[in-house]
Amino acid sequence: MTRLSFAWALCAALAACVKSTTLQKFVVLDPIFDSVFVGNQKPLPSVIYFDGDKLQTPPASAVTWQSSDPTILAVNNPSGQIKGLKRGTASVSATVENTQGSEIVAVPDVVDITLLVDTLYLLPGDTMTIPTIILHRDNAPVVSYDAPGATIFTIDPTKGRVMAGATPGGPEKYRVHADLVSDSGAVYVLDPASVGTAGNAFFSVVGPSVIGAAVSHLNASPKATSYTRTGGSAFRIQATHAASTSSEQVVQVTVNAAASLGPGFEIDSITPADSSTCNPPKTWAIWSTPGTTAYSANPDVTQQVSITQLVTLMTGGKVAGGRFSYRARRGDVYTNPLGLLRITGVFVAPLTTANLCP
């Protein structure tokens, strides 16, 4: 389904519902999410208006446009264009007969760097390629990596591959360069014997599927749990930011196999109807925040969770280090392709055993 046909279908459903009850007017823009590079222009979104009785496309003269932040995004009514002015995110609103609708527009720089995991938590000897999105308006930029003064890790200057040394420590900075633009992150090398009962995790949630729309980059508290399921073993990786608050975000990946080293476990798609949290028939993942849950989806990309280090301590316990990357569809806009999130993270946590099944 195209974005326009989706918008019309949504409006038709809303109109049918609203007409039978309150006859409330509304405006829907298509697309509901968009992007434009700094210095570029593109047409204003299309407008669908429900006047309390029927759906219609209002004439241009009946629509008044406004930007929520004119320093980021300019709206030119006469030319019917929006223009990116500086990096950021703003909304464009359209008003028809005192009724308003809006779209969100991300404005990336001409060359734009997004570090998906800018804080790397690694165990000694671990390696990880910095997950980065580099966008460009014109010719592809020259990309390089460096870490001036780093003592606890090394970095490949062309591939961005970080290798942790044997000595714990951090944070120590690395930098990513794309032409004249740069961004920086940090590396921690954790002593497995000092992880204790807590551990460290970091994850990002990027979306919707438009250029430069970073939602959040968060430090989190991880849990790595092995448990017995019907017919076999399973383990779960969970990372929680701001627990028990209105800003809580939780990433949870459940694997229907025993925790082990290897190339990784592929994360499958699930739907809101799937509820096998104890006995998963497949490896799946969710992201949640109060009022919203997103379910792992597989839009033809590689997505997996992997344990890259599994250290047995002298005390008898184990510490797991690894990472995950997957896409997820928000349940509140599940059928809309623009509700797709990209979730990427890294973790170091004690691997405990618990009974997660009732």
Question: For residue 10, what pLDDT is reported?
Answer: 47
**Residues 252 and 145 grouped into a single domain:** no
Question: For residue 120, what pLDDT is reported?
Answer: 98
User: Domain range holding 291?
Assistant: 193-358
Question: For residue 211, what pLDDT is reported?
Answer: 52
Question: For residue 281, what pLDDT is reported?
Answer: 82
Question: For residue 207, what pLDDT is reported?
Answer: 76
**Residues 221 and 345 grouped into a single domain:** yes
Tell me if 102 sits within 8 A of 29, measured CB to CB.
Answer: yes
**Residues 237 and 303 grouped into a single domain:** yes
**Residues 103 and 113 grouped into a single domain:** no
**Residues 343 and 232 grouped into a single domain:** yes
**Residues 206 and 341 grouped into a single domain:** yes
**Residues 149 and 263 grouped into a single domain:** no
Question: For residue 122, what pLDDT is reported?
Answer: 98
**Residues 84 and 205 grouped into a single domain:** no
User: Total structural domains in the chain?
Assistant: 3
Question: For residue 12, what pLDDT is reported?
Answer: 45
CATH number assigned to the domain comprising residue 61: 2.60.40.1080
Question: For residue 34, what pLDDT is reported?
Answer: 85
340 phi, psi to nearest 5 deg: -85, 130
CATH number assigned to the domain comprising residue 179: 2.60.40.60
18 phi, psi to nearest 5 deg: -70, -40
Question: For residue 109, what pLDDT is reported?
Answer: 85
- 10-residue mean pLDDT series, the chain (358 residues): 44 43 78 87 92 88 93 86 90 92 87 91 97 88 95 98 97 96 96 92 80 72 92 93 94 94 90 78 91 84 89 91 93 72 95 84
**Residues 183 and 329 grouped into a single domain:** no
Residues facing 43 on adjacent strands = 81
